[in-house]
Amino acid sequence: MANQIDSDDEYHTSIEDDEPKFIINTKSTKFRKYKQSILGSLESPFDGFCESFKLEDLGEIKRFVSHIKEYILNDNLNEEHINYFIDTIIKEKGIYFLDRVSLVQYDNHLSQDSESLLEIINGHHRIEALKRFYTTTLPADLVHYKITLRLDIYHLDNPNSDDTSKLFKAFNAVRPQQTLWPAKDLARRIIIALGNSFDSKSRHFVFIKNNEAWTKKPSIHGKYFATKLEDRIKEQFKTVKYITEANSSDLDITPIINKFKTYNDELKTNPLEWFNDIRQRGKIDNDNGINHKIFERAKKVNCYLGFVRLDYLLNQCVSL
């Protein structure tokens, strides 16, 4: 039992601030200022579906790659691919990216922050290469480089819409460096379904948060959860013979979601003392425990899954 309620505390914070509200949309002044601050010149206007931008000023490009939000399931980057871009930039004193970076803007969605309304859906290797280039290049030397980056922004309703799923698949399923795409797609479907099951806008709660660094319990760190979930699914693909890459997209995930719900119902029968007793018996460094305020928050939103070590949680709930 000691290993069940452990922690993934390198991804959690115990800061006692109030939960941010879902008050920002793409019509908000705050979002418009954010978008304007990270984009270059308009290359082609909005046509009802997409608008295009071009960035050539190195300061603009640095600001863009530093602040744009990454899609939660775009991970497992190919180092060889990234290094190719970096080597080209250094050798050629710049680069002209032929392929455009694709982003999505969610026009019918309320968020806690502007960044979550605009995120990359294709082009992560280019963005990561540019981030590393700026990190290792002195500002005074940037005048010797010329870089051109073009962006397409697709306007969609929200992160969970069918159109968002189709666009993500269209861009990512054809990547030559992408392996086991069905695992990533299945992970995406599970994450969306878990959000629909446990998120609570009325109580300003997001179960799986796409934060860059810290996440406050009882929420779960999105990037960390997505990586662990995808790894778990890949393990299952190797052992469950009737599932193939061809038929995994038809797999009914309802039993998996129901397991998360059932396990959450089991957890909520335990008092705060039980959670901390279990955690202390398997205590690890930087484990701040669960205080009364965090526990009461979990009770209000009826979600205790964020208290459970992810490896154990996924082993309990994700079986194909």
Mean of pLDDT values over 53-74: 85
Rounded CA separation 101/53 (Å): 10
Burial (Cβ within 10 Å: 0-12, 13-18, ≥19) of residue 44: exposed
Q: Using alpha carbons, select from 256, 274, 260, 273 the residue that is nearest to residue 302.
A: 260
Per 3-state DSSP, what percentage of the chain is helix, strand, and coil (rounded to 5)? 50, 15, 35
Mean pLDDT over the full length of the chain = 81
Token pair for 89 = 């930039």
Transcribe 31-55 into DSSP letters.
Answer: HHHHHHHH--EEEE---SSEEEEEE
Which pLDDT does position 312 carry in this prediction? Answer: 86
H-helix segments, 76-221: 79-92, 124-136, 162-172, 181-198
Tens-place pLDDT, residues 29-55: 999 999 999 987 787 788 888 999 989
Overall average pLDDT of the 173-202 stretch: 72
pLDDT band of residue 301 (cuts 50, 70, 90) is very high
Q: Burial of 164 by CB count in 10 Å (0-12 exposed, 13-18 middle, 19+ buried)?
A: buried
Of 154 and 14, the structure prediction assigns the larger pLDDT to 154
Per-residue pLDDT at 4 exceeds 60: no
Q: What is the pLDDT of residue 264?
A: 94
pLDDT value of residue 29: 92
- The reported pTM is 0.61
Structure confidence at residue 241 (pLDDT): 62
Q: Which residue has the higher pLDDT, 256 or 211?
A: 256
59 against 280, higher pLDDT: 59
Mean pLDDT, residues 266-274: 89
Give the position of tokens 């269209």. 170
Tens of pLDDT along 70-114? 776 666 678 888 888 898 899 889 888 878 899 999 999 888 888
Measured distance CA(134)–CA(132) in Å, rounded: 5
At 126-180, the pLDDT tens digits run 999 999 999 988 888 888 899 989 899 999 998 878 888 888 877 766 554 444 4
What's residue 180's pLDDT?
A: 47
Q: Which amino acid is at 13?
A: T
Q: Quote the CA–CA distance of 296 and 294 in Å, as a whole number.
A: 5
pLDDT at 280 exceeding the cut of 70: no
CB 236 within 8 A of CB 320: yes
- CA dist., res. 141 & res. 125, Å (int): 23
Task: Give me the pLDDT at residue 14, please.
Answer: 47
Q: What percent of the chain has pLDDT over 90?
A: 25
Residues whose CB is less than 8 angstroms from the CB of residue 291 and which lie 6 or more positions away in sequence, other chains included = 14
Residue 73, pLDDT score? 64
Angle between helices 162-172 and 181-198 in degrees, nearest 10: 160
- pLDDT, position 63: 92
What is the model's pLDDT at position 291?
Answer: 85
Q: What's the confidence (pLDDT) of residue 285?
A: 31
CA pair distance 96, 306, nearest whole angstrom: 43
For residue 24, the cross-strand partners are 111
pLDDT tens digits, residue range 215-231? Answer: 788 888 887 888 889 88
Q: Which residue has the higher pLDDT, 187 or 173?
A: 187
Q: In which element (H, E) is residue 67 found?
A: helix 58-67
